[in-house]
Amino acid sequence: MNHLIPAWVDGALTPVDKLEVHRRGLRHKAVSVFVLSGGKVLIQQRAMDKYHTPGLWANTCCTHPLWDEDPADCAVRRLEEELGITGLFPAHRDQVEYRADVGGGLIEHEVVEIFVANAPADLKVEPNPDEVMAVRWVDFYDLAAAVQRRPERYTPWLQIYLRDHMDAIFGALVRA
């Protein structure tokens, strides 16, 4: 399902069809969420019907905000839509920008608001099969090592987050 997302065209923020944004590699707004429990990170394997990077492992959830949607509201909405997670209110951690080829002639050039939420050990997760084919809790250090060993199994943005922005996203976990 395509929808209009905020993208910069000729220097102005404009609503543009999501697929067109990625075909043209336009710089656009995005939101990424990391749910943590202790030293573990909840990651998801993208559904095989996703229009790019199907079957790859990614952070807890990521999306594009709707036009005029507050990024924090978007983070809460997508946790529920993708994973059935309610009752968490992620805290804003950082803003990062990256550009990555995601295959099929599509480019992600995102200005991403990064959010982190701490979850109880008994967090209820009910993945939406249209979005997610699997989830798992992974030790933070094991995830970082796995992405270095087998990057082809992980989305380009997760690789970038772990390579370039670990301290900003994970804070105390990195320094522990």
Instruction: Single out the residue of 113, 103, 104, 88 nearest to residue 29, CA to CA.
Output: 113
Which residues belong to the active site? 62, 110
pLDDT in tens, 74-86: 999 999 999 999 9
- Residue spans of alpha helices (H) in the chain: 18-24, 71-83, 140-149, 156-164, 166-170, 172-175
The model's confidence at residue 172, banded by pLDDT at 50, 70 and 90, is: low
Whether the full predicted model's pTM is greater than 0.75, yes or no, is yes
pLDDT in tens, 89-110: 999 999 999 999 999 999 999 9
pLDDT at residue 1, rounded to an integer: 43
pLDDT (mean) for 14-43 = 95
Task: Give me the count of residues in the chain.
Answer: 176
> Does residue 173 register a pLDDT over 80?
no
pLDDT in tens, 100-151: 999 999 999 999 999 999 999 899 999 999 999 999 999 989 999 999 999 9
pLDDT in tens, 40-71: 999 999 999 998 999 999 999 999 999 889 99
The model's confidence at residue 166, banded by pLDDT at 50, 70 and 90, is: confident
Q: Do 30 and 110 meet the contact criterion of CB atoms below 8 Å apart? A: yes
Q: Do 114 and 95 meet the contact criterion of CB atoms below 8 Å apart? A: yes
pLDDT at residue 167, rounded to an integer: 87
DSSP 64-107: -PPTT--HHHHHHHHHHHHH---S--PEEEEEEEEEEEEETTEE
pLDDT at residue 2, rounded to an integer: 54
Mean pLDDT, the chain, whole residue set? 93
The domains located in the chain, with CATH, are 4-169 (3.90.79.10)
Q: Is 121 left (phi over 0), alpha (psi -120 to 50) or beta?
A: alpha
| Amino acid at position 59, single letter | N
